[in-house]
Amino acid sequence: MNLDRRQFLHRAGLGTLAVAGSGALGACGGGDTSSDGTMTLDFPTWQGDEAGVKTWWRQAIASFQQTHPKVTIKLQQVPFATYTDTLTSRFSAGKAPDIVHLPTTTFGSFAAQGWLANLDDRLKGTDILGNWTKVQKTMMWDGHNVGLLVLGYAPVLYYNEKLLKDAGVAVPTTFPELIAAAAKLTSGGVYGYGATTTSHPGTYSEATWMVYGAGGGWSAGEKLRFTDPAVVKAMDDYRTLARYSPKGVPSEQKRTLFFDGKIAMMIEGPFVYAGLDKAAASVKSHVKLAKAPFVQQPGYPSNSIHVSTQASKKKADMAWEFIKSLTTPQTQASYAQLYGVPSPRRGAVTQAMIDKRPELGLFQSVTDSAVDATPDNKDIVTNFSEVQKLIMDACVRLQTSSTPTATVMADLQNKVNGAIK
């Protein structure tokens, strides 16, 4: 489904007030250069105060400004809760930021509006695509690269080694083993597994990991796959695991319960490992990591960076130079070290880094081998927020009702089909 501007703003929840409030940020753009040849690039992000990655962004900006003394990159922190609405307002008002940072869940909506510049010619002659994560293909729109993935990852299994040993449970390496382990570990106030059990983006992520990890998918091009036998089976397994999880908890609370020793296992992204610093003293030394017990590792995009089609040629060229500076092996190694996540650039995480932080080796290896776990249906990507909500609601229905899984998934397919047509 191709949305016109009015329809898009309505679906984003902005309606006719889309440009309200855009002045404060939009006024930062200004002309290309001042009379003395200096230039300011506007760069809003929701990561300006996020531990680890905020330091990386600031270091990358400082390094770029050293080699481009007439360029100032103005980093602006925007709360994540209002981030997409803020950027939508700015683009709609013709005051787009010079450097566009997006959560990849909103990528399709922006690409469908023609707001993201084609980077194919800029990527030619660089080594970026040849060394970048396979999940970069999520940045393709109408056959062109319109962005660069900043973070793509595969989830891993977090487990409490002491709880498993005390119960005589081996670390699961297959999904049936994971379910059996969760059942055995659920006892005495401890939950065997941690799932997100309320309507929350984490619910979508976890269901997606299980479906794609089992070899399924939400779509195959134009064909919706919610009722495929492999998908129904994966969601039935998802439903079973949720029985051994605390009820009504969002992802953040689930993670806290794990680090408090109340949950024995969970499958989560690499960035969650930073929570170990706040783990209960009796738990910290028992937190271990392993490859998630999937048939194939699901690669999941997190965020991406782009050049706006509204930017002047001079600002677009300079924005690209900044983006390109982020891709060097040195800068990517710094990204992994400071943020504790895999680098999208192959080889950026060195053996010396892994020797100091073994978790980086696991994070990088599963990500490098992962398959893309994003829908390949353009209409789903364009209308992602609606489809994500429908999948989240179906997950909650699986967790809280006795309706057969096949029925829930058939209903979901009908609802998704209606949302995207």
Q: What's residue 34's pLDDT? A: 73
Contact by Cβ (8 Å): 151, 336: no
Task: Please tell me whether the overall predicted TM-score, pTM, comes out greater than 0.85 for this model.
Answer: yes
Instruction: Give the C-alpha separation, 52 to 226, whole Å.
Output: 37
User: Which domains, ranges and CATH numbers included, belong to the chain?
Assistant: 5-146+301-327 (3.40.190.10), 156-297+377-420 (3.40.190.10)
Q: What's residue 363's pLDDT? A: 97
Contact by Cβ (8 Å): 395, 211: no
Q: What are phi and psi of 348, to 5 degrees?
A: -70, -35
Q: What's residue 405's pLDDT? A: 99
Q: What's residue 406's pLDDT? A: 99
Q: What's residue 31's pLDDT? A: 61
CA dist 364 → 91, 133, 336, 367 (Å)? 35, 10, 9, 5
Which of 267, 190, 263, 243 is CA-nearest to residue 399? 243
Residue 384 is which amino acid? F
Which of 395, 394, 332, 390 is CA-nearest to residue 364? 332
Instruction: Tell me the β-bridge partners of 323.
Output: none
Instruction: Tell me the β-bridge partners of 345.
Output: 132
Q: Chunked in runs of 10, what are the mean pLDDT values of the chain (421 residues)?
A: 43 36 42 82 96 95 98 97 96 98 95 98 97 94 98 97 98 98 98 96 96 98 98 99 97 97 98 93 98 97 97 98 99 96 95 96 95 94 95 98 99 98 85
Tokens representing 243 are 């029985």
Q: What's residue 28's pLDDT? A: 45
Instruction: Give the C-alpha separation, 201 to 416, whole Å.
Output: 17
pLDDT digits (tens, 9 = 90+) for 203-216: 999 999 999 999 99
Q: Which helix (H) or strand (E) holds 290?
A: strand 287-291
Q: What's residue 343's pLDDT? A: 96
DSSP 8-state symbol, 341: S
